[in-house]
Amino acid sequence: MPTLLLINPNTSATVTQLLAHHAGAMRPPEGVLHAVTAPFGEPYIASAAACAVAERAVPAAWAAHVATHGEPDAVLVACFGDPGVAALRSLTRVPVLGLAEVAMRQAQALAATQGGPDGRYAIVTGGAAWRPLLWALAERLGLADRLAEVVTVERTGAELMADPPAAQALLRAACGEALTHDDVQAIVIGGAALADLAAPLAGQVPVPLVDNVRVGLRAAWHAACGGRSTV
């Protein structure tokens, strides 16, 4: 049975439940899901300091899970920023995926398909502190060349999740700002807490939107199934 471990790097059980709901909806036949919350840290990661704590919390969550259940077939670190992904990859040969890396790679591929060699992608997310962090992550992953801009809205992901109507307006405006940059052919809607907010925007933005949670979960289940088609 393919087993997926989903690690929420923050301490919000509400976010973990939201992610588990989406993961369960995409679960392949006989798939087994374990969703765990970071054992320490912040209820929402909105600063470099909180991200640094999450870098330690994710391996701790992994160790506690493995001690009880053994290794899963794949792991998804469900934070758009991928704290702890590199650390886990050094601990196991199990596929370890991060929401940001999966979404950025898909957006880059879409941008190239839509716009050819000049096609670029942008990221829209919540919380100003994430802009430099995501640029740095894109640089480390070799995905910065086609990244046009990281556009952040005033509210954090947790605040956006708490007020969906306001979130839609803010994210729509942020997508409009992203499209002012040359050759943007795809936009990532980033943030674990924004799992329900990308789809309603799709008909309001003239380029493909990449829902980080949906593409991350699809890739993670695919990895858990050994690369076989899932859903």
Same domain, 86 and 143: no
Number of domains into which the chain is organized: 2
| Any domain includes 153 | yes
Same domain, 76 and 117: no
| Any domain includes 125 | yes
Same domain, 136 and 205: yes
Same domain, 78 and 91: yes
Cα of first residue to Cα of last residue in the chain, in angstroms, is 15
Specify whether the CB–CB gap between 195 and 22 falls below 8 A.
yes
Question: In Å, how far are 165, 170, 182, 206 from 99, measured between CA atoms?
Answer: 24, 21, 25, 23
What token pair was written down for 128? 């100003």
Share of the chain above pLDDT 70, in %: 98
Same domain, 196 and 152: yes
Specify whether the CB–CB gap between 186 and 114 falls below 8 A.
yes
Give dist(CA 106, CA 83) in Å, integer: 19
Same domain, 13 and 42: yes
| Any domain includes 64 | yes
Domain that includes residue 178, residue range: 100-211
**What is the total residue count of the chain?**
231
Same domain, 94 and 162: no
**What pLDDT, in 10s, does the model give residues 86-116?**
999 999 999 999 999 999 999 999 999 988 8
The residue whose two tokens read 């190239």 is 112
Whether 150 shows a pLDDT value over 50: the answer reads yes
Whether 23 shows a pLDDT value over 90: the answer reads yes
Same domain, 134 and 161: yes
| Any domain includes 229 | no
| Any domain includes 230 | no
Confidence category of residue 131, pLDDT binned at 50, 70, 90: very high
Collapsed DSSP state (helix, strand, coil) of residue 187: strand
Confidence category of residue 231, pLDDT binned at 50, 70, 90: very low
Arithmetic mean of pLDDT, 10-38: 95
Same domain, 135 and 80: no
- pTM of the predicted model as reported, rounded to 2 decimal places: 0.94
Q: What is the CATH number of the domain that holds 104?
A: 3.40.50.12500
**What pLDDT, in 10s, does the model give residues 51-68?**
999 999 999 999 999 999
| Any domain includes 142 | yes
Task: Please name every residue paired with 120 in a beta bridge, in sequence order, or none if there are none.
Answer: 184
Whether 45 shows a pLDDT value over 70: the answer reads yes
Indicate the helix (H) or strand (E) that contains 103: helix 99-115
Same domain, 141 and 88: no
